[in-house]
A and B are shown apart, each in its own frame.
Chain A
Amino acid sequence: MHEEILSVREIEKTFTLSAKQRKIEKTTLKKKVAVDKLSFTAHKGEVFGLLGPNGAGKTTTLRILSTLMTPDKGDAFIDNISVRSHPHEIRKKIGFLTSELKLEDFFTPNYLYDFFSHLHHVEPDIAQKRKAELFDHFGVSRFAEVKVANLSTGMKQKTSLVVAMAHAPDIVIFDEPTNGLDLLTAKSVTDFLLDLREQGKTIILSTHIFSLAEKVCDRIGIIIDGKMTACAPLAELTREASLETVFFNLYEKTAGEINE
């Protein structure tokens, strides 16, 4: 077993719902528990998948890990560094990619890569070498000088990927990495995740796509209503049934009903 690189310890996060949100969620409750005493660990070089339905708390968990949010209670540690007390140090170690993180339309992939490399204090010669590799791998070189505004969704996703990898982070956090992508781009992202695993990077990803989880994850954590309902190696979870069956069995047991 590789050494532990991520340890999430009983994190909790509660949001206050605005009147508008209460109306959308059809609830009278003013607070919503997004993450409820969630704990899990990830080891160096493994791909850990957070599987769950929409609103289960996956994105909130990843936002906490990427220091965009602070847990109300509990803490998470990356390389024994607390996300709560040393967010600045954590940001140096992680690459974070989510559909909510956008790139500015006005700039080209080339400019953005250089910009984020600089913010991560990557040595210029290393940055250029890495840029050439990443741009070639994802075919970004073809549109390196085209403004993001004029790129297709797939091209934008590829640009976001290379920008997130500009500082060669030890841990890569992906929130729904293939969401909204066409089949070809989704495949290139999946292949990239496998590449990263080959390189010994640790990947934490959230998804609701069973096939993606089965293809790339070493271990799976199933989150339902902010709670970790199962957390085990993929092989162990799927010993007797497919991941999809395991998930829906757990969902029925935990939530009591499935929204059709």
Chain B
Amino acid sequence: MNSNIIVMIKKELHRFFRDPRVVLTTILLPGLLIYVIYTFLGGAMSNMLKIDETYEYQIAVVQPSEAFSTFIESQSTLNYSLETIPPDQIESYRTRITDEEADLLVVFPAGFDQDVALLERSPVVPNVEVYYNSASMASGQAYSVVLSVLESMKTSSFDINRGVDSADLAPSKGAFLQYLSSMLPMLILIFIFTGCMAVATESIAGEKERGTIATLLVTPTKRGEVAVAKILSLGIIALCSGASSFLGLYLSLPKMFGMLEDESVSFASLFGIVEYVYLALVVLATSLLLVALISIISSFSKSVKEATTAVTPFMLVVALVGLSAMFTGGAQSDVVFYLIPLYNSVQALAGIFAGESSAVNILICTVSNLVYTMVAAYVLARLFNSEKVMFSK
């Protein structure tokens, strides 16, 4: 990279990271606030979503094991109605769970008790199937309790849900995933935007206001270099701010979703290395694009105050674009959607959180946002060259 760009990036970062007040307000506070607010919200929500104490859980068992009946009767957590159904009703009962008319289905293989007793002489390990619906709070809780009952029976050797691909009978995906894919894109976009807005308005309009940008512009530094250095350094700062917000979100989500405590769905288990790489790519490219766009808007302003006012309508647009994930019901598959600036980030993030991300779409989203950033850097360089913009009174 050009040495002028590097030295300007260093200067921007030096100014930012050596100022404790700015670091506190731009990096530490967003994450901390999100953690505190979401944890508080989580507590409030869990009270709101608490299942009525008189609720009777609808549980069906196929070919019940004697040991299971004994164990489940001894637990005092659930007020349940246990129904024994024949194997030919398994499918219809599964549908009832999907429709949230029933909560849980436990299927024991024929002769389970004998097989367990004779295990040393049998080559086949018995397998118990447990079906639930993660989109239903009651079903999730019943699943958690029954799972612990089965675990406590495990002095005998048997498997649970061995080879069962879809024990979760939620319609498409669980409530958690639905929430993640519909809400998180907007939240992440807003967090990144807030971080970008704080630093970009200060760095561009603030420098104009203080008269320090002109000092830079009379050096033999190319305007393009100034623009690229600004965007990259502000992008790094915005990313730190976004990462702080994300960390706050990551730590507070399990608290927000009390149901996660059953370990049936864990945030970490939804994310592999590939998802994290996708997320990093999308967030990085989006941060750079937002920083570039806010920088352009800020360059027309004479002061930080004016820039903040000018950027606010753009923030509303970004929030609206972020909200679109709630109405599209998951990520769009058509490639064209991944070429539309900002909307592409929302779709890519929705895809990642819904577990439906496609490498091609992520790549198109990232590359197109980087291209838009380069175009924006070019525009910013032109604006730095415009005396009307830089020196207007």
Q: A interface vs B, CB < 8 Å?
A: 18, 21, 63, 66-70, 88-89, 91-92, 94, 96, 100-107, 111, 115-116, 118-121, 163
Contacts and interface: CB of A to CB of B under 8 A. Distances in A.
- Chain B, interface SS category: helix
A104 B219 CA distance: 15
B292 to A, nearest CB: 22
Interface in B260-288: none
Most buried by A among B11, B19, B218, B222: B218
A102 B19 contact: no
Interface string B320-341: 0000000000000000000000
Contact of B214 (A68, A70, A116): A68
A21 B214 contact: no
Contact of A106 (B19, B211, B216): B19
A173 B39 CA distance: 60
B212 A91 contact: no
Contacts of B8: 119
Interface string B1-27: 001100110010011001100000000
A110 to B, nearest CB: 13
Contact of A116 (B15, B18, B211, B219): B219
Contacts of A92: 220
B212 to A, nearest CB: 5
Contact of A91 (B3, B19, B220, B393): B220
Given A118-B4, A119-B4, A67 B218 contact: yes
Contacts of A69: 387, 391
Given A89-B220, A91-B220, A102-B211, 8 more contacts: A63-B387, A68-B387, A94-B218, A100-B214, A101-B218, A103-B212, A118-B3, A121-B220
A120 B210 CA distance: 22
Given A116-B219, A119-B220, A120-B220, A101 B214 contact: yes
Interface of B: 3-4, 7-8, 11, 14-15, 18-19, 207, 210-212, 214-222, 387, 390-393
A66 B218 contact: yes
Contacts of A101: 211-212, 214-215, 218
Contact of A105 (B18, B210, B222, B392): B210
A89 B210 CA distance: 26
Contacts of B217: 68
B393 A68 contact: no
B218 A107 contact: no
